[in-house]
Amino acid sequence: MKQIECYRHKKILVLGLAKSGVTAAALLHKLGAFVTVNDKKPLSENPEAQGLLEQGIKVICGDHPIELLDEGFELIVKNPGIPYNNPIIEGAFKKGIPVITEVELAYQISEAPFIAITGTNGKTTTTTLIHEMLNEGGKKPLIAGNIGTVASGVAQKAKKENVIVIELSSFQLMGIKTFNPKIAIITNLYDAHLDYHGTREEYKKAKANITENQTELEYLIINADQEETFEIARHTRAKIIPFSTKKQLSEGAYISNGWICFNDEQIMEIADIALPGVHNLENILSAMAAAKLSGVENSAIQEVLKSFTGVKHRLQFVTELNGRKFYNDSKATNILATIKALAAFEAPIILLAGGLDRGNEFDELLPYLKNVKAMITFGQTAPKIERVGSEAGIKTIKRVDNVDKAVSEAYRYSESGDVLLLSPACASWDQYKTFEVRGDIFIEAVHKL
């Protein structure tokens, strides 16, 4: 890692722990900063904070006292999940104290270049595909961000010959200052996290930060089928590489006569691709573009696409039991993701859905429920999803307490040839700490059968 001096003897507040906060605090301490950590969880229940205390880092736990701002901090490193209307953050802006996320630290210390992926849907699959393609092509990639380990932890180990492939959320991108990826990707843009950002425009601005510092020496891969991504591209200095599943392009990644192509070169027949779902072609095209720009041979791209069947919790095939196929799509935390999952199957579907109520309705699902023969609901949104199911004419709609019970109930109404699909269309936080926990419970329940 680069031994930077810009944080030596600076007073820095790390606000909020979790993995990113712990890693950032330890890194800044190593770089010679005077670090204070503030986390809402009490110290007695906070092993992460206790560990930092043992390293000689100042720790304040239990709440976020506004008086912290009187201690003369020169920088705040904020956990991405803490909103910008937090009183400490609002107070910091009034005092002119910069606020960053740990992704910025990762960029500053990294010897390796970055390939950065953002968007509403498809980030995890695209990030994983790029990592697999680069790995197959001998490019020594490291994976980081939401999908892997904390970026500033990965960056400490990265060498010049590595490439860091990183999935970035809008929350993380709001806290960058100099971060500049060699290749940036915006998969797509739809309504998401509006409870955090307030408006779609603010959400779009956050996503656009991924290309804010790029120059004509870097690349921005964008979805040519969406006007909003083109709006972002109009303000970039990077070389624009479009991808499209709907039209043939003069350059970039596209589909032609049953082949995926890059510029004027046929790379692979779609029929030979293992990953299911029409929506995944977007992810494949953007990943292929990043791989080609990184010098990966066609044979390596083909090898990955012949064998890659998906990432955990994203339309993940779990098993087949007595002719029924089980798919874990717990990462479908919004309606669009569930729409794409439903469109991926022609077989009859038993849909397991529900979760955190963010105030929205689910009428957008209606046109895509034609293949759904039964619906098992759970969580806060169960009544709303049931209403849409009834309007779609689904005869079997059952409400259960949780995902574990949903699996056995779904199996009860299934028959050979059916797809049993967990695709909640909602965040998990009403019942489960993360979508990963929710998906793991689904997998365990399936195996119990």
Annotated binding residues for ATP, as ranges? 119-125
Query: Roughly what angle, to the nearest 10 degrees, separates helices 123-136 and 280-293?
Result: 40
| Residue with the two structure tokens 């906070």 | 46
- Per DSSP, what are the bridge partners of residue 13? 36, 76
Q: Which helix (H) or strand (E) holds 34?
A: strand 34-39
How far apart CA 360 and CA 289 sit, in angstroms, is 35
How far apart CA 304 and CA 136 sit, in angstroms, is 7
| Residue with the two structure tokens 């960056």 | 155
Query: Structure tokens of 14?
Result: 């790390």
Q: What single-letter DSSP state applies at residue 344? A: T
Q: Which residues are annotated as a binding site?
A: 119-125
CA 231 to chain centre: 22
**Please, what's the b/e burial string for 79-112 (b: 16 or more CB within 10 A of its CB; e: otherwise)?**
bbebebebebbebbeeeebebbbbbbbbbbbbeb
* Those residues with Cβ within 8 angstroms of residue 192's Cβ, 6 or more apart along the chain or in another chain: 120, 170, 203, 334
How far apart CA 383 and CA 422 sit, in angstroms, is 17
Q: Are 410 and 350 contacting, i.e. CB atoms less than 8 angstroms apart?
A: yes
CA 13 to chain centre: 26
How far apart CA 215 and CA 181 sit, in angstroms, is 10
Torsion sign (Cα): 251, 246, 237, 209:
negative
Cα-trace Rg, the chain: 23
Listed residue (13, 221, 39) closest to 118, CA to CA: 221
